[in-house]
């Protein structure tokens, strides 16, 4: 009867197969870990910063987010080259998009420009800027825009400031918003989706500029604004927000509601409040070129958020960006 041999050494073939099995198992584990990390964080490469893009009008450029107390106005709050004489875009370092970009350590391309209209985004060059949408990088992660309102907003403000405003003037401006700018804004959002297909788009709403109907305005604003004009301005701002909300819904993007529950704007900081975050008529304010009558100081410098107002807008905007949660951002 034979004996079972002891200490038999494995063959070379067995050793190679065992080693190959170990290597394959390790590679599969590494691949699974990498796939898991990517799924959790689309922007997982820490060396690649978040890419933000902003476009639109003075409410997003930050005109008014300054510390003007003198004549001529102090322009140090604004980015060089945006306070004239060739360019009056008034991009403030205190604008909400600038604040959010700093909070998120993002690279911001800021194409916003005061007094811009929807046509300046995709049809007509403004100042020395070129079309705003042509500055949009394809690799953008987040787009913030507020493109409708002008020139109708300026017409309504002029109506309120310079005379007792009539309902027909406001009705005409609301009709322009509804019949022309509604479709134009939607077309701009669609074009952004085409040019930056991976970007999340945030359509920024307008804050509460004047008191809500029924709130007192006479103590601080009665000298230039009647009860009727409060109703008219609320109607116009309400139309802007309703149109942008609807367009965001139709395009599958996010409307940034500055009156959402918990918003700092809900604590009453309109231009007639005890603690306003909106400028009323301003003598020392950014304006477009010399104007000895100072009317442009009044019309274009007023009715815009202060530094505190832009900070409040930034707070709400950043909440929406974090809640959408489709990119990794610092906590």
Is the model more confident about 265 or about 19? 265
- Model confidence at 163, pLDDT cuts 50, 70, 90, reads confident
* Torsional sign, CA 252, 257, 261, 264: positive
Q: Binning pLDDT at 50, 70 and 90, where does residue 5 land? A: very low
| CA distance readout (Å), 47 to 105, 106, 247 | 11, 12, 35
50-324 CATH fold: Rossmann fold (3.40.50)
Query: Can you tell me the distance from the alpha carbon of 299 to that of 69, in angstroms, rounded to the nearest whole number?
Result: 17
Sign (positive or negative) of CA dihedral 325, 326, 328, 330: negative
Residue 14 has pLDDT above 60, yes or no: no
How much is the average pLDDT of 11-29?
53
Nearest alpha-carbon partner for 193 in 146, 149, 140, 129: 140
CA distance 326 to 328: 7
Q: Which token pair is 302? A: 């007023």
The pLDDT of residue 298 is 42
User: What integer is the mean pLDDT of 83-104?
Assistant: 92
> ω into residue 72 within 30 of 0, thus cis?
yes
- pTM, two decimal places: 0.80
- Reduced to 3 states (helix: H, G, I; strand: E, B; else coil), residue 115 is coil
Check whether 285 has a pLDDT greater than 90.
Answer: no
Cβ-based neighbours of 105, under 8 Å, separated by 6 or more: 49, 50, 330
Indicate the pLDDT class of residue 295, thresholds 50, 70 and 90. very low
Please report the pLDDT score of residue 47 as a whole number.
61
pLDDT category of residue 242 using cuts at 50, 70 and 90: very high
Beta bridge partners of 254: 202
pLDDT at residue 54 tops 90: yes
Mean pLDDT of 129-135: 94
pLDDT band at residue 154 under the 50/70/90 scheme: confident
HSE of 96, CA atoms in CB hemisphere, 13 A:
34
pLDDT computed for residue 213 by the predictor: 83
- The rounded distance, in Å, linking the Cα atoms of 327 and 105 is 13
* Cβ atoms of residues 171 and 234 within 8 Å: no
Q: Cα separation of 74 and 304, whole Å?
A: 16
- Residue with the bigger pLDDT between 154 and 182: it is 182
CA gap 100, 91 in Å, rounded: 14
> Is 128 or 246 the better-scoring residue by pLDDT?
246
Please tell me what DSSP assigns to residue 9: P
The residue ranges of every structural domain in the chain are: 50-324
Give pLDDT, residue 13: 52
For tokens 């042509």, name the residue: 134
Q: Per-residue pLDDT averaged across 103-126, rounded?
A: 94
For 12-16, 108-112, 253-257, 280-284, which range has the lowest pLDDT when averaged over its residues?
12-16
Q: How far apart are CA 9 and CA 15, in angstroms?
A: 10
pLDDT (0 to 100) of residue 219: 84
Helix axis angle, 167-176 to 227-251, nearest 10°: 10
* Orientation of helix 307-324 relative to helix 96-103, angle to 10°: 50
């Amino acid at each position: 009867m034979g004996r079972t041999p002891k200490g038999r050494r494995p063959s070379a073939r067995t050793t190679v197969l065992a080693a190959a099995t170990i290597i394959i198992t390790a590679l599969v584990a590494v691949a699974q870990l990498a796939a898991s990390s990517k799924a959790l964080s689309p922007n997982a490469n820490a060396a690649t910063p978040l890419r933000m893009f902003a476009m639109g009008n003075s409410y997003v450029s930050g005109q008014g987010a300054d510390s003007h107390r003198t004549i001529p106005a102090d322009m140090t709050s604004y980015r060089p080259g945006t306070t004239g004489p060739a360019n009056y875009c008034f991009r403030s370092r205190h604008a909400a998009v600038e604040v959010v970009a700093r909070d998120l350590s993002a690279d911001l391309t800021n194409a916003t420009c005061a007094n811009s209209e929807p046509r300046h985004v995709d049809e007509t060059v403004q100042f020395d800027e070129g079309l705003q949408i042509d500055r949009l990088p394809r690799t953008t992660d987040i787009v913030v825009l507020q493109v409708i309102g002008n020139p109708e907003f300026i017409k309504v403000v002029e109506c309120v400031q310079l005379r007792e405003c009539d309902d027909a003037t406001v009705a005409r401006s609301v009709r322009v918003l509804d019949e022309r700018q509604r479709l134009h804004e939607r077309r701009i959002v669609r074009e952004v989706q085409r040019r930056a297909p991976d970007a999340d788009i945030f359509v920024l709403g307008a804050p509460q500029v004047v008191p809500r109907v029924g709130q007192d305005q006479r103590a601080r604003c009665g000298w230039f604004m009647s009860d009727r004009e409060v109703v008219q301005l609320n109607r116009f701002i309400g139309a802007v927000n309703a149109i942008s909300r609807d367009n965001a819904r139709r395009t599958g993007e996010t409307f940034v509601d500055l009156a959402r529950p918990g918003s700092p704007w809900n604590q009453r900081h309109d231009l007639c409040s005890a603690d306003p975050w909106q400028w009323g008529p301003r003598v020392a304010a950014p304006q477009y070129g010399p104007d000895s009558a100072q009317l442009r100081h009044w019309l274009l410098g007023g009715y815009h958020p202060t530094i505190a107002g832009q900070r409040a807008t930034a707070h709400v905007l950043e909440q929406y960006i974090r809640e959408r949660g489709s990119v990794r951002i610092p906590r």
